[in-house]
Structure 1
Amino acid sequence: MECKTMSRDRYVAAMLLSGAGDALGYRNQLWEYCKSGPQIHTELQELGGLNNITASLPAWPVSDDTVLHLATGESLATGKLGEELYHDLAARYVTAMTDMEGRKPGPTSILGTSQLRPGEPGGYKIPFNPSATGCGAAMRSMCIGLRFPKPSELSLLVAVSVESGKMTHNHPTGYLGSLASAFFTSLSVRGVPLEQWGSLLLQTLPLALEYVRSTDPDVQRHLEVWDYFQQSWERYLSERGLLQGTGPAVFPSSYGPAERDVEYGQWSLDGWAGRSGHDAPMIAYDALLRAGDSWEELCSRAMFHGGDSDSTGVIAGCCWGVLYGLTGVPKGNYSHLEYKGRMEAVADALHKLTWGGH
């Protein structure tokens, strides 16, 4: 069954609140690199709370996450598909890396883009990287779900999210994060209940494995490290009582900023919560499950924690924007964002391509 047409306004909200989640979680490097959620919450109150924040330059720039998410979106907006799209994506990722002053791109994204040769045969592919487990692919792929949200387009969503992810993070933990962010955004568009998302993600992993088996000449190296992503998600979903896709989600009785720092840290690969491909979408999902229609609650959980808070914020903000629009969001949080015009243009173009101007 195909999904109902989603309004243009929700696409705009998805792109703007993704950028807002990034800028708020980043706070010009101050909060992305703060290891204490309680400290961030204290500093937020000293600023007068979320309602008092106008996320604009110079104090609240977007990070590498949004610059690369825009590169993905602007490439998808061309309407290209297949190899033509992949070369275009690669070219835009290379160009985006020239706009990284003060944005703190990850070393894996820097290395990956330096290896891309867009326009040359196979030039969008880079070698397998045993350490490319980071969230750099997950934090730029949400708009793939805006472009290919329909159930009939799932194989396209898998191919594009995996291929675009592999352009810098050619390791299952990295590029399956790209799939998770794109897939969750598509489920937002389709109106699928949140409690089902994790279970549906697990059901989609075999499609990704089949895609990698059929397209990657070095498939054995992927297979050797494939299971970590799935096992991490199975553990998390078991903890939340969501492994079968039926709710309600079960949360710890005490789950404030300090407790969340501990919990998020336990899901991480290297102690930095949200830094990896499996746990950036996981923290975003956890926040969405608990926040409901409260933007403030979403920010508290996804943007203001002692981990990679801009990367979890950029994913959570995009999905929340699709689900709830801009209602209840302080205008200052999104109305003066750096690159706001580009975000709106991407939303417009993706909406037209996906829904034919409805």
Structure 2
Amino acid sequence: MSLESFQASLVLGIAGNALGSKNEKFGTGKSSDEKQKIIAGLGGLRAITVAPPAWPVPEEGVFAVFTIEALATGKTGEELVRDVAMRYADCMATDMTNKPISTYLLNKVSRLQPSDIDYGIFQDYDDHATHSSAAIRCFSVGLRFHKAKHVRDLIAAAVDISRILHHHPVAYMGGVTAALFTSYAIQKRELREWGAGLMATIPMVLEYVASSGKVVIQNGSIYSMSTYQIFEETWKEYLRRRDIIDGERKPKFPRRYDMKKRNEFYQSLALPDKELGATGLDATLIAYDALLSSGSSWEDLCNNSMFHAGQGNVSGALAASWWGIQHGFSSVPPGNYNSVHFKDRLMIAATKIYDLSW
């Protein structure tokens, strides 16, 4: 796998985060038709230059950049997690200045005490912390630990980095899924095999959470176990409907799979009372489904992962990151990524992670 694949994964992932957000204008209430009209009114995807102030990187993308830079140091284990938490705390006075940030994240970051690995880094278990933000913060973990023999390191890093800000099974399972699929892309595993690989990995995640020594009591509760089961069963249902539960056949899609059908299908897999794409469960599902159905078309990938009737910022980032590993930059309009915020830093980090990961 080439250095460009690592670079494209990071740069296109963050660009996809910006494209899927449109400076928060693609948030709650915007239908896929409305988003498509906005894109068309700008001259189409090829005419868009993803750069601030019109296309800034949203808050979850900024935290993802700091995760990436921590991974590029070569640190592992508790040292890595402490560094990530330190960067999250420090960025509030640097790259997050004058950037809109949710009250939730403000509260969580303000409570971080990175010097205290036992009590100052991981948030308390939170029934509401299901957000997809953990998935975008963890996709790059799969670049650092992409070898099959390092899957337990990948799981530990993704779970703990997720729990720095989002301590809930849906969040850290989304983080593990994002990282795992990145590693599969680097390994050049067939796309149809990824879901089956995730199903085989879930017991390893439960084993790590149970043995990590950082587990609050709720992680082992009946409620939490039912949440794990919902995550696993929803993914199984998706894989069954695509006929790839064992990863051995080509995925099946409806003959007519337009955006209306996609939105209905995606919504059927989302958690109740949550906006489409807002949790670690459906954001990863949407990204994977878009990747499976878009082939080598960047435009189709963007339409299917970023411009659906929900939050496309994380699902778009994940799909773009995985697609970038497979296809690089060559067929992407330069304006869609050349001026994205943090590009230079991401290119430097990609080179460091590439050198470290082999």
- TM-score band by shorter chain is over 0.9
Question: Contact 1:148/1:157 (CA < 8 Å) preserved in 2?
Answer: yes
Match of 2:235 in 1: 233
Match of 1:32 among 18, 23, 27: 27
Q: CA offsets per residue over residues 160-181 of structure 1, 9 Å max, x none?
A: 0011111111111111000000
Distance 1:121 1:168 in 2: 14
Question: Contact 2:156/2:208 (CA < 8 Å) preserved in 1?
Answer: yes
Displacement of 1:136: 1.4
Q: 1:47 to 1:65 in 2, by over 3 A?
A: same
Name the SS of the counterpart of 2:165 in structure 1. coil
Match of 1:52 among 24, 47, 55: 47
Match of 2:342 in 1: 339
- Which amino acid is the alignment partner of residue 263 of structure 1? F
Q: Does 1:220 align with 2:217?
A: no
Match of 1:285 in 2: 288
Match of 1:141 in 2: 138
Identity of aligned pairs, percent?
37
Match of 2:13 in 1: 18
Distance 2:96 2:29 in 1: 20
- Which amino acid is the alignment partner of residue 185 of structure 1? T
- Which amino acid is the alignment partner of residue 166 of structure 2? H
Match of 1:70 in 2: 65
Q: 1:107 to 1:274 in 2, by over 3 A?
A: farther
Displacement of 1:108: 4.3
Displacement of 1:208: 0.3
Match of 2:306 in 1: 303
Q: 1:80 to 1:305 in 2, by over 3 A?
A: same
Unaligned runs of 5+ in 1: 1-5
- Which amino acid is the alignment partner of residue 291 of structure 1? S
Q: CA offsets per residue over residues 38-71 of structure 1, 9 Å max, x none?
A: 1111221121111111111211111112211111
Counting matched residue pairs gives: 350
Displacement of 1:321: 0.6
Match of 1:163 in 2: 160
Q: 1:260 to 1:106 in 2, by over 3 A?
A: farther
Name the SS of the counterpart of 1:26 in structure 2. coil
Match of 1:179 among 173, 176, 181: 176
- Which amino acid is the alignment partner of residue 198 of structure 2? L
Question: Contact 2:242/2:251 (CA < 8 Å) preserved in 1?
Answer: yes
User: CA RMSD, aligned part only?
Assistant: 1.6
Q: 1:230 to 1:350 in 2, by over 3 A?
A: same
Q: Does 1:114 align with 2:110?
A: yes
Question: Contact 2:78/2:117 (CA < 8 Å) preserved in 1?
Answer: no
Name the SS of the counterpart of 1:244 in structure 2. coil
Name the SS of the counterpart of 2:116 in structure 1. coil
Distance 1:256 1:129 in 2: 36
Q: CA offsets per residue over residues 331-354 of structure 1, 9 Å max, x none?
A: 000011111111111111111111
Displacement of 1:234: 1.0
Distance 1:252 1:259 in 2: 9
Question: Contact 2:125/2:216 (CA < 8 Å) preserved in 1?
Answer: no
Which is further off, 28-37 or 345-354?
A: 28-37
Question: Contact 1:157/1:182 (CA < 8 Å) preserved in 2?
Answer: yes
Displacement of 1:20: 1.4
Q: CA offsets per residue over residues 146-165 of structure 1, 9 Å max, x none?
A: 00000110010000001111
Match of 2:36 in 1: 41
